[in-house]
Structure formats: C-alpha cells, structure tokens
Amino acid sequence: MCQPSWLTSTLSPVVPQWLGPDACLLESRAYLRRLFPGKRCSLELELAIDRKDGVPERRRLLGKLYRDDRAASVYSTLKELRNHGLGAGRFLVPEPVACVLEHRLLLSAWTEGELLSAVLVSPMPPAKSREQRNGC
C-alpha cells in the first residue's frame, strides 16, 4: 500500500464507475489513519485524477484493510444501509465504492462528519421529570 504505483494499479480497475466516464486515475497515495491491531487498519487514499476536459482533480477514499474476510460483508452492509435511507440526512453512511477481495480491502467514499460511534457512546442528558416536562 505504501508504493504509489502498486496502489494505483490495484485501484485503477475498481474505481472507474465511481470516478465517472470522463476520468482516469493517474496516481494514488495511502496515509494510515487508524490501526486496530489484529483487526483492521483505516487508510486515507488520495487520488489524482485526469479528466477529458483537462482539468485535474483530487479526490479521497477511505480504505479499510481487514485481517479476515470481512471486507465483502461490510461492503454489502453499507450498501443495504444506504438503500434504507442512510445515504443522506443527519445520519450518513459512506458510499461503498468497491471491495478488492484478494487484498481484503474495502473502499468507501470519504465522508466528513461526526462518527456514529461517538453519538452512540456519548452520555445521554438526564431525563426530565414529569413535572419539568409539564412546566410545574
């Protein structure tokens, strides 16, 4: 993953649909974001893209390398969640781009925002009593 030419040749066959018909992947680089020893690691993938109109573009993907064969099941789960309304709105699941089975690599669109795990684990404010809710 640290060799840009190898990474670019690995990504080139699996990202054309996501890039669009007028785009060509020129170069890519990987940056380690998080490491979960024995489970997976998350990579920020920076892509340099050439367009037919001559305007170069930079895009990012999130890559997750899994120790086991989870990439395909996570890819399917992301697609299902997006199909059930989590593709837009307050809670957003990243768009799954591709799954490269031979490298146990999941690619998803880069998504900004608050992590769902942070929302789920954050402490809930104390519940109001019935009197407080009724204004007493």
Please, which pLDDT band fits residue 130 given cuts at 50, 70 and 90? low
Side chain identity at 61, as an amino acid letter? L
Instruction: Assign 115 a pLDDT band (cuts: 50, 70, 90).
Output: low
pLDDT for residue 103? 93
| pLDDT tens profile 21-75 | 889 999 999 999 999 998 999 999 999 999 888 888 999 999 999 999 899 999 9
